[in-house]
Structure 1
Amino acid sequence: MSLSTAHRTVGSADDPAWFRHVLGQYPTGVCVITAQPEDGPPIGMVVGSFSSVSLNPPLVGFYPSVTSETWPHLQRAGNWCVNILAAHQTDVCRRIATAPLAERFDGVPWRPAPSGAPIIDGAVAWIDCVPVAVHDAGDHKIALAEVRHLDTASTELPLLFFRSGYGSFAPLTLTAYDPEMRLTRPLRHFELIRSIAQELPDHGLRCLVTAPVSDSVVVVGQLDPPSATPSAQPTTLVGQRLPFRPHGPSIFEAWAPEREQEAWVARFAPDSQEAEIRALARIRERGFSIGLGSEGHRRFAAALERLAAEPGAVGNEELDALVASLDYEPPELSDEVLAQARVISAPVFDNEGNPVLALTVFGFKARPDVVRAAIAAVTACAGRATSSLGS
C-alpha cells in the first residue's frame, strides 16, 4: 500500500456531496419518461436511473425523487413511454428538464406510441409500458412498468451522463444490431472470435468485420485502437450494408464452390472475366486480399466516412460505382506495390470450410515493412479465429 493510499481520508456515505461524487464515476444513459394525459399537454421527465428489470414478464424500472414536481403527474398516467435520447439531443434533455411542465414539448417533435405517450423524434429507442408497481426507497421511489411495445428508432449513439456532464463515448468495439434477426449466424460467429480479433487494435490497426448476407456485405463488427482524440465525434460503420458487386473485393468468392465462382465471374464484363479468375486464384494462393490506393479508393473511403457520420448519406448507385473503381489483387507484391496498399482482408472459415467472415484492416502507414506486419497480423488472427469456429 502506498503512503498516499494509506493516509487518504475515506469519504462518508452520510455526506450527500461525496456520495454523488463517487457514484458519478459510473456513467448512465439519459432517458425521458413521457405520458399523455387525457386532459392536457404531454408531460416528460428526464431520468438517468433507468434499467431493465425482468425478461419474464418484461419489466423496466426507474427511480424518481420524492421531491420531483413531475413525478405525481406521471404516477397518475395510465401509460409511460421511455425515450432513450441520442448523443445530439442535449437540447431536448435540457428543455424537458427545465421548462414548465405544460411547455416541455414546445418545439420538440414527437409522435404517439401505441399507448399515445410521446415518442421523441431522433431518440435511439423507445419502450412503451404500463405502470405496475411503485415502492418506497428512501428519498426516491422505485417505479416498475410492464413493457407492451418497444423498438429502435435511430442508429445514433446514446446520450450519456458522466461526472455531472452530458456527452457520448468513443466505441472501440461495436456489434451490429439485428432487429430483424437476419444476422444471427454472422453475429454469433463474431462473438465467438471477438477476443481474437481484438488483438488487431492492439497492433494499432483499425478493423472491420464483415459477412456476406444475400447480395450485400454487412459490417457486423468494428474494432478500433484507442483514439488519439477521444473528444472527436464518434462514428461507426457497424450495420452498414455494402454492395457485393464487381469489381469489388472477392474475398468471399475466392473459396466459394466452383459453380458459385462461375456465376460471380459471369457478372463481369467479358473482357474482365479472365482477370477476375486470376484475381480469385491470387487470393487463394496468398490467403488474403489486398487493395491499393487510387483515386477510386480515396472516393470510396470518403463515402464510407460520410456513411459512418450519417447512415444513408450515400445512395446504392453511388456505392456501386465506387466499388467498381477499386483496385484489388495486384499480380506482384513488390515493395513499390506494398507502398500503395490501403486495405488487407483475410477470411475466417466455419467448420464446413465456408468463408463466413472477413477481417479487414486499414489505417496503417503505407510502408512496405508496416504493410507486411499488417498482413502477418490479420492473417494470423484470421487463422486463430477459424480454429475457434472449429474448422
Structure 2
Amino acid sequence: MAVDAQTFRAVLGQWPTGVAVVTTTAGDRWHGMTASSFSSVSLDPPLVLVCLARGIHTHELIERSGVFAVSFLGKDQTGIGHRFAGRDRGDRFAGQPWTAAPTGAPVLGGALAWLDCRVAHAYPGGDHTIFVGEVLAAEVSRRTAPLLFHSRAWGQLADPLPDEVTLADTGLAAALDRRLRGFGSARTRVTPAGAALLLDSVHAAGVRVRVPATALPSAVQAGADQPGADEPGAAVPRRPSWSTLVEEPARLPVLPHGAPIMVEVTDTPGALRLIGAARERGLGVVGRVPDAFAPARETEVLAAADRLVAAGCAEVALDEGPDAASPLQVRNLLQEAVPRVRPVPLRVRLREAYGLGPANALTAMKSGVRHFDATLGGIDGGLCAEDVLFLAARLGVAAPIDRAALVTAATDLEAIWGSALPGRTYRLDRPASGPSEGGPFR
C-alpha cells in the first residue's frame, strides 16, 4: 500500500534537523534558499550532500554553476531562515554580513559555521536531486545553540539533562568564619573545632570545599595527593578536592607548586596576571565572573568568559549577583556560554531567592551545566548543596557525592548555628538521632 504524501510529510516532520541556508552564484548575483535536507557523506575526502527540489531556481543555478555553500543557522537567526524560505519579500541578502567564499558562493558571516563546496556528483532522487559536494573551505564562526526544524516548526535545541552533576561548597568556610568572629546570632555555638569538623565532613562526602589558603589541610599544603579516587591508577581522573580564593599574587607563595588545589580568581583588571602566576606554579585555576546573570550584561560576561579561557583557566564559573535572576535570564546566558567555553567546564553559583534557586538549577542543568557551586544548608544565601542533590536525584541525575553524609553535616550545622537552616530538603531525611553524637556539637 502506497504512503500518501501528507502522511509521509507528517512522519518525516518528527525527525528534528538543523536549519541551513544553501547558496550559489550566477554571474554577479547571489541566490539561496533555506534547506534542512543536508547531511555529511565522507571525511576523506570531505563530502556533504544537499537535496533540492528540481523545480526551484536554486536547483537550476547550482546545476549550472557547479558550486554551492551551506551556512548553518543559530537559534537567534530564525528571521534569516524565514527570509530564505520565501516568507519575506525583498532582497534576501540585505542587512546581513554575507561574503563570497573561494568558489564565489556567499556564506553568512554570523552563521554558526559554513561550508564551501564544488559539486562532485549529482544523483536523481525522485522529485529532488541529490547534490554531493566536495568541501573546499570551511569555518566555525561562533558557538551558540543551533536553530532546529521539527514538525513544521522552528525552535531551539532540546534540553537533555546531564548524566552527572558535581558540587563545590564555596560558602561554608566564610560563613562559619563570620560566626566565629562574632557576627550573627548570639545563640550560635560555632567553635573552631566544630567548624573544622564540618568542613572535613563536607569534603569527605565528595564535595570540593573552598577554604582560606592558610587553612588548607597539611597534606595539600605539602603538595600531596588526596586519597581514594585521586590516587594514581584510580578509575576516575584526579579532581582537586579543595579550593581557595586568591585575590592578590602575595597569597600564592603559600601554595606549593603542583598542589592538588584549585585557585579561584575573580575576573578583575589584575586577573590575567594572577591566573598566569598560578599556572606557573602548576595550579589549576577557576576563573569567576561576578554578577553574571544581570540583565544587559550578556555581552560583557561572554567576553569575560573568553578572556578566562584564553588565559588558561581549567574552569569558568558564573556567579549570580545580588538581584535574583529568572530562569529565562539563566537560560539565555547559559545557551551562549556553555558552547562558547567548551571544552573548558562551566560551573554556576546560584542564589536562593524567592524560591527561584531550584528552578534556576534545573534550567542550568537543562542548558548543559554539570558543575554547581553551593553551600551546606544554604547559610550564605547561596543555593543549598543538599537541595541541589535532592533535585538531581528526583531527576535521575547521578552525583559522585554521599548525600546522606551531607544531610548529617547539615543537621550538625543546624545544631551549632542556633536556628533552622535556609535549606529545605535536609529535614526530610535527617538522621533520627539528630546531630552527630559524640562530636564537638554536644
Partner Cα separation in structure 1 for residue 385 and residue 114 of structure 2: 45
| Secondary structure class of the residue paired with 1:36 | strand
Partner Cα separation in structure 2 for residue 124 and residue 101 of structure 1: 24
Superposition deviation, residue 308 in structure 1: 8.7
Structure 1 residues 171, 313: CA separation in 2 closer, same or farther (over 3 Å shift)?
farther
2:274 is the alignment partner of 1:299: no
Partner Cα separation in structure 1 for residue 389 and residue 91 of structure 2: 59
Superposition deviation, residue 266 in structure 1: 11
> For residue 30 of structure 1, what is the aligned residue in structure 2?
19
Alignment-mate amino acid for residue 360 of structure 1: H
Partner Cα separation in structure 1 for residue 73 and residue 128 of structure 2: 23
Write out per-residue CA displacement over residues 220-262 of structure 1, whole angstroms, 9 at most, x where no aligned residue: xxxxxxxxxxxxxxxxxxxxxxxxxx99xx9xx959958xxxx
Q: How does 1:127-166 map to 2 (within 5 A)?
A: 127-166=115-154
Superposition deviation, residue 166 in structure 1: 0.8
> For residue 7 of structure 2, what is the aligned residue in structure 1?
18
Q: Is 1:125–1:150's contact at 8 Å kept on the other side of the alignment? A: yes
RMSD: 5.1
Partner Cα separation in structure 1 for residue 117 and residue 163 of structure 2: 38
2:189 is the alignment partner of 1:200: no
Q: Is 1:13–1:19's contact at 8 Å kept on the other side of the alignment? A: no
Aligned residues: 252
> For residue 110 of structure 1, what is the aligned residue in structure 2?
98
TM-score by length of 1: 0.51
Write out per-residue CA displacement over residues 336-365 of structure 1, whole angstroms, 9 at most, x where no aligned residue: xxxxx958xxxxxxxxxxxxxxx7324789
Q: Is 1:34–1:42's contact at 8 Å kept on the other side of the alignment? A: yes
Higher Cα radius of gyration: 2
2:61 is the alignment partner of 1:47: no
Structure 1 residues 364, 108: CA separation in 2 closer, same or farther (over 3 Å shift)?
same
Partner Cα separation in structure 2 for residue 88 and residue 161 of structure 1: 13
Superposition deviation, residue 312 in structure 1: 2.0
Partner Cα separation in structure 2 for residue 172 and residue 256 of structure 1: 41
Identity %: 31
| Secondary structure class of the residue paired with 2:57 | coil
Provide structure 1 residue ranges, at least 5 long, that are not aligned to the other structure: 1-11, 174-196, 207-245, 259-263, 292-296, 327-340, 344-358, 382-391
TM-score by length of 2: 0.46
Partner Cα separation in structure 1 for residue 133 and residue 67 of structure 2: 9
| Secondary structure class of the residue paired with 2:63 | helix
> For residue 238 of structure 1, what is the aligned residue in structure 2?
none
2:302 is the alignment partner of 1:311: yes
Write out per-residue CA displacement over residues 143-185 of structure 1, whole angstroms, 9 at most, x where no aligned residue: 1111111110111221111110111114446xxxxxxxxxxxx
2:385 is the alignment partner of 1:371: yes
Write out per-residue CA displacement over residues 323-347 of structure 1, whole angstroms, 9 at most, x where no aligned residue: 9xx9xxxxxxxxxxxxxx958xxxx
Superposition deviation, residue 44 in structure 1: 0.7
Q: Is 2:19–2:36's contact at 8 Å kept on the other side of the alignment? A: yes
Q: Is 2:292–2:298's contact at 8 Å kept on the other side of the alignment? A: no
Q: Is 1:52–1:60's contact at 8 Å kept on the other side of the alignment? A: yes
Partner Cα separation in structure 2 for residue 52 and residue 25 of structure 1: 20
> For residue 94 of structure 1, what is the aligned residue in structure 2?
82
Which of the residues 59, 70, 83 maps onto 1:71?
Answer: 59
